Structure 1
Amino acid sequence: MIYTVTFSPCLDYAVWVEELKPGQVNRVEKENMLPGGKGINVSIVLNNLGFESTALGFIAGFTGREIEKQIKASGCHSDFINIEKGNSRINIKLKSKEETDINGIGPIIEAAHMNQLFDQLDQLKQEDILVLAGSIPSCVSTTIYCDIMERVQSKKVRVVVDATKKLLVNVLEKKPFLIKPNHHELGEIFDVELKENEEIIYYAKKLQEKGARNVLISMAGDGAIFLSENGDILASKAPKGQVVNSVGAGDSMVAGFLAGYLEQMGYKNTTNLYQYAFKMGVATGSASAFSNQLARKEEVFKLLKMI
């Protein structure tokens, strides 16, 4: 089973305004409200691709109930921990000539809530996959992903981490199965600006030297680069298409990679295991970017032929 953890689930409220006029009344042309959070996005896309997962994390208040309701309606499993006080976030995605994000404040996660999460993680079994994705609220320690990995290490759970800065760097010594920074986040870790593929590969190797087994670098419209634990280096341009919405594209890449990996693991011949997983990741990330909704199976396999 695949489990995803989202510490700060949200409702993403996207509104489209032809021309934003600050200080005036602006009329919305169209709007959309969907459950959000990186781990939740991974679960939804996995479900769209035919793979079951369970979304874990923390919800609160009426927004939390709506998040849970929409996730269940999408066909996904969830087992969220309910926080008694506060509300889950509403993140506003204001789309005009420029895109503006306004992110809300989530509830306070206390020690008792964290213990409930640890109890859930103690139930994981060998060969399960755990996805730790996204930022954490300020009330949670920046070592939390590392603490979780240490807790499940004896179970030989394959852990995927999609995070930034300290959250990501702190887990490397625990040898995560896969990490997925984008090229900007990779540069931030080493305080450099990365432009060329050779530079990206150089610094991605440094993350492997620090412990990461597999490193997947997303580069938006420029495609992606993958360094496998077998020593292979793969690169792919993004398939051609019009970018409609970049929100969730990176999470979709993670979901696509896992779907491709698990699909190939079902065959006796796994020679092209990581190659196929990488291609699925690129196709799935692109499918989300080219749509107002998260990637769906038909779109993904259509783009897969172009990679």
Structure 2
Amino acid sequence: MIYTMTLNPSIDYIVRVTDLTLGALNRMDEDLKLPGGKGINVSRILKRIDKQSVALGFLGGFTGTYISNWLSNEEIRSQFTQTNGDTRINIKLKSDTETEINGLGPVISEEEIASLKATLSEIKKGDIVILSGSTPASLPKGFYQELIHQIDVKEAEFVIDTTGEDLLHALCHHPLLVKPNNHELAELYHTKFSSIEEIIPYGRKLLESGAQHAIISMAGDGALLFTPQGVYQSNVLKRPLKNSVGAGDSMIAGFIGIYEETKNPIEAFKWGVACGSATAFSDDLASKERIDELLSEVTITQLQSF
């Protein structure tokens, strides 16, 4: 079974306003409320490609109920830990430019942390846990390491999609997949990239440090997959860009959903690119129809063999 972990979910409140004027009354053209959070996005895309998952994490208040009901309506299983504080609301204001205002996450108590860990302890050998996104400020530093230890004890696999120290400290535990973008990878190793050739040694470094597979997304230059056998690059699919939120989560969902079934990283990468691109070309996360449409257009080229 695939489990997704979202420690700091949100309702994403998307507002479109023409000619926004600060300090004045503005009327929105349209609005949309969606469940937010990287792990939740992964679960939603897994459902679209007919893969089952269980969504874990913290939810609370009327906002948490909204998210829980949404996932239930999409027939996505969840075992969230309930918090006394409300799940946050993130505002994404789209006008001539896009402005984001992220809400504060709830304060998580020791009892709520213990409850989450008890839920995670139900995983079994061979399960995959996808750890995604930021953590609420009230959680102790290194909380992901505590969850990874639990996963290791159960002999399950994990994916980690975060940056900085949390990513670095996870590598020695051999994550099944890591997925920084090129800017996050450069920041991780305190460097800069001006070409794909400069990225490759640092992608290999992720594997040498313990990752089983690494995907480096590069926006308009496609993506790179690093495996023990070599480096592979995807082509860039062409459609009008509508949505950058959730594209990386969709790529992870496509990769892990197919890899769990086939253990073929190249085929999984192809699905990851199709899912990520389909979300980038959609108002919300990708539909199954859009993913199927793009899948046949994805080509994977080997750049190097190891």
Bin the TM-score by the shorter chain.
over 0.9
1:293 to 275, 284, 288: 284
Equivalence for 2:303: none
CA drift at 1:33: 0.4
273-282 or 149-158, which moves further after superposition?
149-158
Specify which of 232, 255, 265 is matched with residue 274 of structure 1.
Answer: 265
Across the two proteins, how many residue pairs are aligned to each other? 298
Identify which range, 90-99 or 198-207, moves more after superposition. 198-207
Runs of 4 or more above 2 Å deviation: 262-265
Q: Is the 8 A contact 2:45 2:253 kept in 1?
A: yes
User: For residue 256 of structure 1, what is the aligned residue in structure 2?
Assistant: 254
Distance 1:136 1:59 in 2: 13
In 2: Cα distance, 1:176 partner to 1:303 partner:
28
Deviation, structure 1 residue 19: 1.7
Residue in 1 aligned with 2:56? 56
- Match runs of 1:1-307 below 5 Å: 1-84=1-84, 86-228=85-227, 230-265=228-263, 273-307=264-298
Amino acid at match of 2:130: V
Shift of 1:52: 0.8
- CA distance in structure 2 between the partners assigned to 1:262 and 1:279 by the alignment: 14
> AA paired with 2:28?
V
Deviation at 1:262, TM superposition (A): 2.8
Distance 1:82 1:191 in 2: 38
Contact 1:12 1:93 in 2 (8 A): yes
Cα RMSD of the aligned pairs, angstroms, is 1.2
Deviations 1:161-209 (CA, angstroms, capped at 9, x unpaired): 0001112111111111111111111111112222311122111111212
Contact kept in structure 1, 2:132 and 2:161, CA below 8 Å? yes
Cα separation, 2, equivalents of 1:194 and 1:116 = 43
Question: Which whole-Å deviations, capped at 9, do the CAs of 1:257-296 have from their partners, x for residues lacking one?
Answer: 112213424xxxxxxx111100110110000000011112
Question: How far apart, CA to CA, are the structure 2 residues paired with 1:241 and 1:195?
Answer: 25
Is contact 1:51-1:259 (8 Å) kept? yes
What amino acid sits opposite 1:241 in the alignment? Answer: R
CA distance in 2, matches of 1:226, 1:94: 33
Q: Residue 224 of structure 2 contacts residue 233 of structure 2 at CA under 8 Å; is this kept in 1?
A: yes
Q: Percent identity, please.
A: 44
Q: Residue type matched to 1:109 in 2? A: I
Deviation at 1:218, TM superposition (A): 1.3
Matching residue's letter, 1:234: Y
Query: Contact conserved, 2:105 with 2:137, CA < 8 A, in 1?
Result: no
Partners of 1:124 and 1:195 lie apart in 2 by 42
Stretch of structure 1 that moved more, 136-145 or 74-83: 136-145
- Relative to the length of structure 1, the TM-score reads 0.94
Q: Structure 2: how far apart are the matches of 1:18 and 1:166?
A: 40
Unaligned runs of 5+ in 1: 266-272
Q: Contact conserved, 1:146 with 1:174, CA < 8 A, in 2?
A: no
Q: Secondary structure at the match of 1:171?
A: helix
For structure 2, list consecutive stretches of 5 or more residues without a partner in the other structure: 299-306
- 1:196 and 1:185 map into 2 onto residues whose CA distance is 15
Shift of 1:63: 0.7
Q: Deviations over 1:228-247 (max 9, x none)?
A: 1x322111122111110111
How far apart, CA to CA, are the structure 2 residues paired with 1:25 and 1:195? 44
Asked if 1 retains the 8 angstrom alpha-carbon contact of 2:217 and 2:223, the reply is: yes
SS in 1 for 2:141: coil
